[in-house]
Amino acid sequence: MTVSALVRESLQTLWPAVCAACDRKVADEALFCAPCNLSINPLCGVCPGCALPVSPTAFDGPAWTRSGLSLGRCRTCRRVPFPFASATGGFEYGEALSEALLRMKHGGRRYLARRLARLLVQPMAEALARGQLETGDAVIAVPLHAHKLRARGFNQALELARWALIGLSRAPSLRPPVGLPRLERHLLHRTRPTRELGHAGPAARLAEVAGAFLVSDTARVRGRRVLLVDDVFTTGATFSECAAALLHAGAAAVHVLALARAV
Binding site for Zn ion (CB under 5 A): 19, 21-22, 24, 33, 36, 47, 49-50, 74, 77
Beta bridge partners of 214: 189
Q: Are 251 and 115 in contact (CB under 8 A)?
A: no
Least separation in angstroms between residue 261's CB and Zn ion is 11
| Residue 41 beta carbon to Zn ion: minimum distance, rounded to whole angstroms | 15
76: left (phi over 0), alpha (psi -120 to 50) or beta: alpha
Q: Which is nearer to Zn ion, 123 or 181 (CB)?
A: 123
Q: Tell me how far apart the alpha carbons of residues 110 and 9 are, in angstroms, rounded to a whole number.
A: 7
Cβ 218 to Zn ion shortest distance, Å: 29
Q: Decide: helix, strand or coil at residue 218.
A: helix
- Class of residue 76 by CB neighbours under 10 A (exposed 0-12, middle 13-18, buried 19+): middle
Nearer to Zn ion, 90 or 181 (CB): 90
User: Minimum Å distance from CB 27 to Zn ion?
Assistant: 12
Instruction: Write a three-state SS string for 65-127.
Output: CCCCCECCCCHHHHHCCCCCCEEEEEEECCHHHHHHHHHHHHCCCCHHHHHHHHHHHHHHHHH
51 versus 161: smaller Cβ distance to Zn ion: 51
Least CB distance from residue 172 to Zn ion, whole Å?
Answer: 31
Which CB, 97 or 221, lies closer to Zn ion? 97
Nearer to Zn ion among residue 87 and residue 180 (C-beta): 87
Q: How far is the CB of 175 from Zn ion (least distance, A)?
A: 28
Encoded amino acid at 195, one letter: R
Q: Return the number of the residue (34 or 146) whose C-beta is nearest Zn ion.
A: 34
- Helix pair angle (156-169, 95-106), 10° resolution: 110
Least distance from Zn ion to the Cβ atom of residue 9, Å: 20
Residue 104 CA to its chain's centroid (Å): 14
Task: State how far the Cα of 44 lies from the Cα of 67, in Å rounded to an integer.
Answer: 10
